[in-house]
Chain A
């Protein structure tokens, strides 16, 4: 029996290059005769563009050309809706400060930078709207003048009879929650190098999440067939959803197309921070009812998300949020109404969790408030209500055999010291604080998240496998071609493990092809925690097909040495998802799931409001663990992002103008801000038979419960609910002084 490679902690395929600094990212590529481009950004969050004068900039030293809207063949784009100009047009509008006026191309980066200052723009300023709740009012300024109002999308779902449900409730808790703008803050600034390749294709080397979708959008913009375009994706220095939309690659492609020369663009950190998309802020209103014995009977939820200036993926993000609005609980009577609304704030887009990250702040805070009202342990209350196989979720779908949330709660609670005694759960002794002015508390939160694209989307991934046979007939080498972008998560290593096990060869014989749309097939996006499930499914099946051909070759003794197989794995072949039904919104929302429970032990300084995380337990169930160290990386990295979300990170704008510029003003946690002790618990109670070797996907789920676990712990410590994120020192201190925090008066 051959050794199982799936489940082994094999080293990342790229690790030796990465520890030597030898891995190349887009900014590390240079070409003979290359030019440098600098974007001229909109100076205002909402204005008519009356006139653009490029004469002075074009006359500046070293400038080769200043591109404006007149140079763009089809001047509109967008990942879901083509609602953005590539470059702002005279007589048109700018709607946020990330809109682009022009691109200055020069012989050196410094020359482009200097000349960009010389582009003169005449604006007519328009009133700005920055609060989505105000933007919903009829008198609000219209962000898109051809729309009836600023509501980009509204969806509501209902299940059971909410009024009757609340009538059965012995306790009802009601609260408003807000979450904030969050920057992806990937370490590698966006960069791209556009050029014309040896076959005349407009080519771009870039960091992205879904190269084939970029090509689709660039083809439309340049009015060219997709086969005259090419995108090459070397190493990507983090993404987290922030590179799902195009921010730079289409600009490099446009420059190369117009100038027929290599053109390089690198954003500086301030551009990355201020001119690219963010996580959606949500305004959430929750009303939840339970019986005296702790059974949830009704929930009513309103979600309003800030879509920013353009649609991006705000509609599917909101839809996803709706499906997770009440959490992984049995709620027989529920109503969820949700809106995503345009403002002149930063564009909001995909970010780790895709709409499943904000609702846990609502539903998990509600659970702790209910537990307090009922005098019940928070673990015990959750245990009574978790979805189990056969239960019906709020969207009307039956949860199938692979529902692992209970086991994550069970294992995390035991690890953190909870005791289970005759149906009751008893909170651990958490020790004494390290100083008299400090208070300790412990908090728990659960969450779940879809794997793959949802709600009727035809999610798919394609793999090609080429086997080279030795003279003896054995497989000497397997080349796997699939455009799954390695953004740091380790996807290519996981796929190589799946290929090796399926073919029955050592990992050393498997090679993953370089991601280049000219050579490798579309794998879909590096998002939605989907590659292990979707692309792993494609690789697994392509390798199975290759193996069958190989066995046939051996039987026939044909002497063939080259075997090829292809497979496109479609999510709907294992579970067909459906869109929301009219009126009720009932549906089969998702292909697969992963689950998590997290517990935080914190110490709050009552003099400063600062929260230290002493210990942290993170349990997750994403089916079979493909690679334990990579799994740990998603757990710890996910919690890192969750800790920043909970406590320190906040992208600040005022009247549509960005304040936050850089890392010293946008505080991602340093090593000193992380939990002092961290335990990752890999639960494998819910293998999905539809996933390769039973695996689902873990990329996002570990970020979801972190914030409410921490705010629940803060409440346990000091008796104050923090309903608005981030729970930074100022907000906690103010809450301690008896002031209700105001999310939008916050200044960091």
Chain B
């Protein structure tokens, strides 16, 4: 089996995979990172969103081999121990998760947005999460959370 080497959540990782393996399956089944959720398996709902070199990818259709030598960030890499990322704090404060299945994907999409654009308008936030589906919340809490996280992150510099 080929070996995939990448930097996963800031740490070098080496894992044996099958050539056709998809990134979500490698993360979940081979590395035990269950925070990346698969909801459609077709790249249509954003639940499996992770960041590769800072860009969002839908890991359920992304060939794992494509991340060789690259930086992969999953929901597990956002918090360090008990210290949560400001986006996670804001999602909690705004009750922006209900069933929670789509939540990691939304948080990763927000992370990519705020790393790129620390001053997003509400319209820009909506565009950034337009590829993520949620069946529970109605989205308003999620927009509020991202807006709030942006403000927190600016304040903390």
Contacts and interface: CB of A to CB of B under 8 A. Distances in A.
Interface of A: 9, 11-12, 14-25, 27-28, 184-189, 235-238, 240, 268-269, 487-490, 629-630, 632-633, 635-641, 662-664, 668, 670-672, 674, 678
5 contacts: A20-B78, A20-B84, A23-B100, A633-B138, A662-B42
A662 B130 contact: no
Interface string B72-112: 00111011000010001101111101111111100100000
Contacts, number: 163
Interface in B6-27: none
Nearest to B145: A19
A235 to B, nearest CB: 6
B62 interface: no
A678 B143 CA distance: 12
Nearest to A28: B34
Nearest to A17: B100
Given A21-B104, A633-B136, A636-B138, A488 B98 contact: yes
A18 B38 CA distance: 15
A671 B126 contact: yes
A16 B141 CA distance: 16
A236 B138 CA distance: 18
B98 A640 contact: no
A236 B45 contact: no
B103 A21 contact: yes
> What are the 7 closest A-B residue pairs judged by CB atoms, nearest first?
A21-B35, A636-B138, A488-B99, A237-B101, A18-B100, A21-B75, A629-B95
B135 A187 contact: yes
Contacts of B120: none
Most chain B CB within 10 A, of A18, A236, A630, A632, is at A18
A189 B44 CA distance: 14
B130 A672 contact: yes
Given A15-B95, A187-B45, A189-B39, A668 B34 contact: no
Nearest to A235: B100
Nearest to A666: B44
B150 interface: no
A357 to B, nearest CB: 16
Given A18-B100, A187-B102, A670-B130, A664 B42 contact: yes
A668 B130 CA distance: 12
Nearest to B98: A488
B81 to A, nearest CB: 11
A660 to B, nearest CB: 13
B98 A668 contact: no
B56 interface: no
Given A488-B99, A629-B95, A662-B40, 16 more contacts: A15-B91, A19-B103, A20-B78, A187-B99, A187-B133, A187-B136, A235-B99, A235-B101, A268-B41, A269-B39, A488-B98, A490-B98, A637-B138, A639-B138, A664-B44, A668-B135
B114 interface: no
Contacts of B140: 632, 636, 674, 678
A637 B137 CA distance: 4
Contact of A25 (B79, B98, B101): B101
Contacts of A674: 138-140
A19 B101 contact: no
Contacts of B139: 636, 640, 670-671, 674
Contacts of B143: 671
Contacts of A238: 98-99, 101, 135-136
Contacts of A662: 40, 42, 44
B47 interface: yes
A14 B142 contact: no
Contact of A671 (B107, B129, B136): B129
A184 B99 CA distance: 14
Given A235-B99, A237-B101, A637-B136, A20 B35 contact: yes
A16 B99 contact: no
Contact of A187 (B36, B41, B47): B47
A473 to B, nearest CB: 33
B37 A188 contact: yes
Most chain A CB within 10 A, of B92, B93, B129, is at B92
Contact of B142 (A12, A185, A189, A671): A671
A590 B104 CA distance: 40
B136 to A, nearest CB: 5
A670 B28 CA distance: 26
A301 B133 CA distance: 37
Contacts of A185: 135
B21 to A, nearest CB: 11
A22 B98 contact: no
B101 A20 contact: no
B44 A188 contact: no
A137 to B, nearest CB: 38
B57 interface: no
A195 B17 CA distance: 28
A235 B140 CA distance: 23
B36 A640 contact: no
B92 A488 contact: no
A187 B126 contact: no
B134 interface: yes
Contacts of A637: 98, 135-138
Nearest to B36: A21
Contacts of A632: 95, 140-141
Contacts of A22: 35
B99 A668 contact: no
A671 to B, nearest CB: 4
A674 B44 CA distance: 18
Contact of B40 (A269, A489, A629): A269
A488 B98 CA distance: 4
Contacts of A633: 95, 98, 136-138, 141
Contacts of B44: 662-664
B130 A640 contact: no
A11 B99 contact: no
B100 to A, nearest CB: 3
B35 to A, nearest CB: 2
A430 B38 CA distance: 43
Contacts of A490: 98
Contacts of A641: 135
A647 to B, nearest CB: 14
A14 B100 contact: yes
Nearest to B139: A671
Nearest to B127: A672
